[in-house]
Amino acid sequence: MSFYITTPIYYVNAAPHLGHAYSTIAADVMARHMRQRGEDVFFLTGTDEHGEPVALAAEREGVTPQELVDRNAPRFIELGPKLNVSNDFFIRTSDPEHMATVQEILARIRDNGHVYEGVYEGWYCPRCADFKTDAEVGPENTCLIHKTPLVREKEDNYFFRLSAFQDDLITLLDEQPDFVVPRHRYNEARSFIESGLQDVSLSRSTFTWGVPVPWDDKHVFYVWFDALLNYYSALSYAAEEGDDLTERFWPAQFHFIGKDILKFHTVFWPAMLMAAGLPLPEHVFVHGFLLIGKDKMGKSAGNAIDPFAIIDEYGSDALRFYLMREVSFGHDGSVSVEGFKARYESELANDLGNLASRTIAMVHRYRDGTVPDVALDPDLAAEIDGLNGEVCALLDVADLSGAADAIWLRVRRLNRYVEERAPWTLAKDPERAGELDSVLASLAESLRVVAVLLHPWIPESSAKLLAALGAPELDLEGARAQAGRLGAIDKLPQLFPKH
C-alpha cells in the first residue's frame, strides 16, 4: 500500500530551529517505519517562501524576495541530511511547477463557484500571515499568538466561500473522527467550525511576492492557500524520472503539523479540497510545542538549544531520540541541554549502550564470537515477539511516544534478564554450558529485534548494531525472535560514548 506523509513547510524568513527539526524528525520516524513494513512510502518536507513576511524581510535587507529565499532555503535543506531524515523530496513554493498547480487548482475552485470579489476590512497579523476573526483579536487589537499589534487592513480581495463548507466539514468530522488527532485537537477543530465560519481572503493586492492570480494580475494568492497546496502539487513533479506521482500517493495518509496551524489544516485545507473536488487526506496529526521553560521555543528563544551544535557533538541519533522521548507526541514539553545530557546518559549510554556492548562482548568472550545455534528461552522470546505488533498498532495511529515506550520496556527487560541469568556465573560451571548457550542466543537475537524496531528513531546506531550482529536486514517481517538466525558476529564500536 502507499503511504504519504508530510511535514509543514517552513517559513524561510528565519533560521531553522529545534521546533522545525521536531516535526521533521517525527515524520521521518513514521516514514522509516512504514518502509520497514514494505509500504510504498513518499515523505515530503520543504519551505514556504511567499507572502508578506518574506517580502518585508527582503525590503528591510535591501534584496529581492527571490534573493532572500534563495539565500535562506538552503539552511532548511541542509538540516535534513544533518538530522538524517529520509525525505523523498524537498518542495520550495517558489518552484514554478508548484506555482502552476496553485493557479490551476484555485482557478478550478473559482470555476466551481466558490470564489467572489469583495473588499476585506479587518485585522491582520503580518507575523502569522493570518486575517483574524473577531474571536482571534486580543486586548488592544493584538495578536493572541504573538502579542504584537495587529494591522487594520482594507483592500480589494478575492474571497473563498469557506462559510459554504461548514456543514460538510462537520459531516467530515462526524464520519471520520480520526481526521484530526489527538482527540483534544479534534475538539478544538470542531468547536472552531461550530462557532461559525466566515469567508476568507484568497488573494492580496498590496504586494506582489506570491503566485499571481491567473484571472487578475493585480493580485497574488494569499500565502496560506499557496502553501497548503504544496502537499498536492509536489507529487506532480517530485519524481526524478518525470513521472506524475499524484495517482500513486494522493490522498496523503498523514499531515504532521504543530498546534498553531491547526485552523489552516483542519478547516481551510479540507474545505479547499472539497471545493476543488479532490479527495481529502486521512489524518492531520497535531503535535504540541517544544518549550524552553514555559515559553514556546521560537525565533528569539530558538538558539537556546542549537540543533547543529548537538549533532556535531553527539550525532543525529542522540538528538532524534531525545526529542522523540522527551516530549510526548501531541503535547507540549520542555527541552533543555541538561535534559538532553541526562537522557543521553541514562537511556542511550546506560540502557541500550550497555545492553548492546555486554551482549556482544559476552558472545565473544564465552563463545568465540559465534552466537550458539540453540533454542531460545521461550519466555523471553514470547515477550519480544509481541513487540512488533504492538509498535505497528501504535504507529498506525501515530502514537510515536507510545511506540518508543513499548520498545524501551523491552530494552530494560533485557538488561534485567542479563542480571537475572548472570551469564558470568553460568560461564564458570561447565555443566551449565547449555544454559549459557540459550541465554546468549536469546539475548543476541532479542537485541537484534529491538535494533530493527528502533531503526526509525536511531537509524545510525541501529545500523551499527545490526552490522555487528551480522544481520543488517530491516524489514519488520524479520522482527521476531528466531533461533539460529545469527551466527558469527563482529565487534561493536562504542555506540554512545560518554561525554
Known catalytic residues are 17, 20, 125, 128, 143, 146, 296, 299
> Which of 20, 33, 50, 455: binder of ligand MSP (CB under 6 A)?
20
91: helix, strand or coil: strand
Q: What mask, x for binding ligand MSP by CB under 6 A, covers residues 206 to 245?
A: ---------------------xx-x---------------
296 binds ligand MSP, rule: CB under 6 A: yes
Between CA 430 and CA 421 the distance in angstroms is 15
212: helix, strand or coil: strand
Q: How far is the CB of 163 from ligand MSP (least distance, A)?
A: 22
> Which of 180, 257, 262, 454: binder of ligand MSP (CB under 6 A)?
257
Measured from the CB atom, the residue of 275 and 481 that comes closer to ligand MSP is 275
Between CA 128 and CA 143 the distance in angstroms is 9
260 binds ligand MSP, rule: CB under 6 A: yes
49 binds ligand MSP, rule: CB under 6 A: no
The interface region with ligand MSP, picked from 29-37, 239-247, 295-303, 392-400 by CB under 6 A, is 295-303
Instruction: Name the residue with the smallest CB distance to ligand MSP.
Output: 258
106 binds ligand MSP, rule: CB under 6 A: no
329 binds ligand MSP, rule: CB under 6 A: no
Per DSSP, what are the bridge partners of residue 3?
Answer: 41
Between CA 453 and CA 474 the distance in angstroms is 8
306 binds ligand MSP, rule: CB under 6 A: no
Q: How crowded is residue 194: how many other Cβ atoms within 10 Å of its Cβ?
A: 12
> Would you give the DSSP letter of residue 313?
H
Q: Specify the pairing of strand 151-160 against strand 115-125.
A: antiparallel
Tell me which H or E stretch contains 45: strand 40-48
Measured from the CB atom, the residue of 19 and 307 that comes closer to ligand MSP is 19
The interface region with ligand MSP, picked from 208-216, 291-299, 365-373, 423-431 by CB under 6 A, is 291-299
Q: How far is the CB of 306 from ligand MSP (least distance, A)?
A: 14
Q: Please report, as a single letter, which amino acid is at residue 39.
A: E
285 binds ligand MSP, rule: CB under 6 A: no
298 binds ligand MSP, rule: CB under 6 A: yes
Measured from the CB atom, the residue of 246 and 350 that comes closer to ligand MSP is 246
Decide: 186 and 177 in contact? Cβ < 8 Å: yes
The interface region with ligand MSP, picked from 20-28, 179-187, 202-210, 427-435 by CB under 6 A, is 20-28
22 binds ligand MSP, rule: CB under 6 A: yes
Measured from the CB atom, the residue of 296 and 365 that comes closer to ligand MSP is 296
Per DSSP, what are the bridge partners of residue 42?
Answer: 4
258 binds ligand MSP, rule: CB under 6 A: yes
Q: How far is the CB of 197 from ligand MSP (least distance, A)?
A: 19
- Is the bond preceding residue 378 a cis peptide, omega within 30 degrees? no
> Which of 4, 5, 9, 31: binder of ligand MSP (CB under 6 A)?
9
Query: 147: phi > 0 → left, psi -120 to 50 → alpha, else beta; which?
Result: left
Cell of 268: 481551510
48 binds ligand MSP, rule: CB under 6 A: yes
- Is the bond preceding residue 251 a cis peptide, omega within 30 degrees? yes
Decide: 298 and 290 in contact? Cβ < 8 Å: no
- DSSP-assigned states of every residue in 94-156: TSHHHHHHHHHHHHHHHHTT-EEEEEEEEEEETTTTEEEPGGGEETTTEETTT-SB-EEEEEE
Q: How crowded is residue 100: how many other Cβ atoms within 10 Å of its Cβ?
A: 15
Residues at the site binding ligand MSP, with contacts judged by CB under 6 A: 8-11, 19-20, 22-23, 48, 227-228, 230, 257-258, 260-261, 289-290, 296-298
